Structure 1
């Protein structure tokens, strides 16, 4: 059985519902990826590495993670912290977020090198995002990158979605340096061109692909909204054009779903082109529904 470990922060999600109300759920970029992968490949073991509080909402979160058939063995609890929360607003299918994560226990998930090594041991793949890196203090971030490097040496495929969120970083220089350090120990990187162009000044998706390839990533898959997905599989470069979506209801988790679809195919040893095609198909289904987690 393949074992995939996702590292990051699961949050309380308050998403718009009918009648001007909000619906409470649990979501977060790496958790969304894990949730979709667990549905696509129920025969694989999907684990989640994070920290939560000891309060009732943390109890509910762990229960929801377990109910999604995602392993909770590597979730650590704290008496003096809780979980973060975000509220989603929608305008013509495009989402914007407001966050409350100052007391999030997930900010401590990388403070124990031994724990990180144990969680990543014997994993087929370890998956994280730029948000995972951004919410850690600098020391924890360095420990996490070191743990990823060791996991890679031990045979795990390290997968990174840069998911650039400048507001989470002290400054743009710190963000760029940390992301490229993580990319240097990654096998797979899934950047989004619009974010990369804003942060790094990339002229086109090919420039984004080349920058991450030169950093050390073996496979780079550049997402670009409804435009073609550009990929490099270690030897060749190609592209996949997403099928147009009739109506975008909610773009939340579109990229996360793409990553999960890509993982489900690529870890089953399908081609990078087939993996990108599957990622696009899953993303199209997700943006046709509301919220981060849409039944597929």
Structure 2
């Protein structure tokens, strides 16, 4: 059986209901991708999630939530620790976030990590820029070393830069670590708007070229409603997403794309067909509230 393993931070999510209240759930960029992957994939694909949690009730509830969703928890338990929390604010379909995560156990997920658990040739490990941003320098180094070693065993590494400048010590540090991760990934899944702002890319093709130049064999550049650019060592093509008439909440649009894309790719689809699946799922997700939308 093939496996997708997400690596990062899953948090308590407080999402607006539209009635002036908030609904509690669990979400986080790489976990969202795993959640959607599990919803879409058949039984031949296993989905797991690697993080660190505490030994408190929110951590136990998170584990139950993942198991109920069919995602296999790969947790390191930190006694006395807990999980982070964030709240979503919405305006005209665009979201902003408030975070309470400074003492999250997930910041220690790589402290004693030596090998990716239960991963073999053909499996996919997924990390993001947020995964790296929440770790200390030593944790970032260790995680990239573990990913490098996993690639030697045939594990494919997927990387979504998911740039969040406020999580990083400086712009220079952010750029350095994002490109360090790009050099150990097989599949890069950047978003052009973020990349243009912080790396100065003129267009989505320039973003694709930069990640390909770093060593990614397959680069898929998301660009909101604009065409998705797909670059391999031998080809370049674009996929135009269907027009979405009403945007309710863009939370997890890119995460959902990643989930559908990776599942389709692992099930044998060509990259262009997998990108179409990603676009279709994103369109459904942004038409509803919250990070995790039933599909």
TM-score band, normalised by shorter chain? over 0.9
| Alignment-derived partner of residue 175 in structure 1 | 174
Which whole-Å CA distance do the structure 2 matches of 1:101 and 1:42 have between them? Answer: 34
| Alignment-derived partner of residue 52 in structure 1 | 53
The residue matched to 1:19 in structure 2 has which SS? coil
| Alignment-derived partner of residue 220 in structure 1 | 219
| Alignment-derived partner of residue 112 in structure 1 | 112
Which whole-Å CA distance do the structure 2 matches of 1:12 and 1:121 have between them? Answer: 31
Q: Deviations over 1:6-28 (max 9, x none)?
A: 10100000000132000000000
Query: Mind listing any 5+ residue stretches in structure 1 that lack a counterpart?
Result: none
Does structure 2 conserve the Cα–Cα contact (< 8 Å) formed by 1:233 and 1:272? no
Q: Deviations over 1:90-139 (max 9, x none)?
A: 1111111111101100000011132x343545561100100001111101
| Alignment-derived partner of residue 65 in structure 2 | 64
Which whole-Å CA distance do the structure 2 matches of 1:162 and 1:118 have between them? Answer: 23
| Alignment-derived partner of residue 266 in structure 1 | 265
| Alignment-derived partner of residue 41 in structure 2 | 41
Does structure 1 conserve the Cα–Cα contact (< 8 Å) formed by 2:15 and 2:22? yes
| Alignment-derived partner of residue 185 in structure 2 | 186
| Alignment-derived partner of residue 31 in structure 1 | 31
Does structure 2 conserve the Cα–Cα contact (< 8 Å) formed by 1:95 and 1:252? yes
The residue matched to 2:19 in structure 1 has which SS? helix
Does structure 1 conserve the Cα–Cα contact (< 8 Å) formed by 2:3 and 2:119? no
Q: Deviations over 1:30-65 (max 9, x none)?
A: 000000000101411101000111111111111001
Does structure 1 conserve the Cα–Cα contact (< 8 Å) formed by 2:168 and 2:174? yes
Q: State whether structure 2 residue 150 is matched by structure 1 residue 151.
A: yes
Does structure 1 conserve the Cα–Cα contact (< 8 Å) formed by 2:7 and 2:125? yes
- TM-score, structure 2 as length reference: 0.97
Which whole-Å CA distance do the structure 2 matches of 1:259 and 1:18 have between them? Answer: 27
Q: Deviations over 1:229-248 (max 9, x none)?
A: 01113321000000001211
The residue matched to 1:110 in structure 2 has which SS? coil
The residue matched to 2:176 in structure 1 has which SS? helix
Which whole-Å CA distance do the structure 2 matches of 1:164 and 1:80 have between them? Answer: 30
Does structure 1 conserve the Cα–Cα contact (< 8 Å) formed by 2:66 and 2:72? yes
Structure 1 residue runs of 4 or more that deviate by more than 3 Å after TM superposition: 116-123
Alignment CA distance shift 1:112-1:122 (3 Å): farther
Does structure 2 conserve the Cα–Cα contact (< 8 Å) formed by 1:258 and 1:280? yes
- TM-score, structure 1 as length reference: 0.97
The residue matched to 1:245 in structure 2 has which SS? coil
| Alignment-derived partner of residue 84 in structure 1 | 84
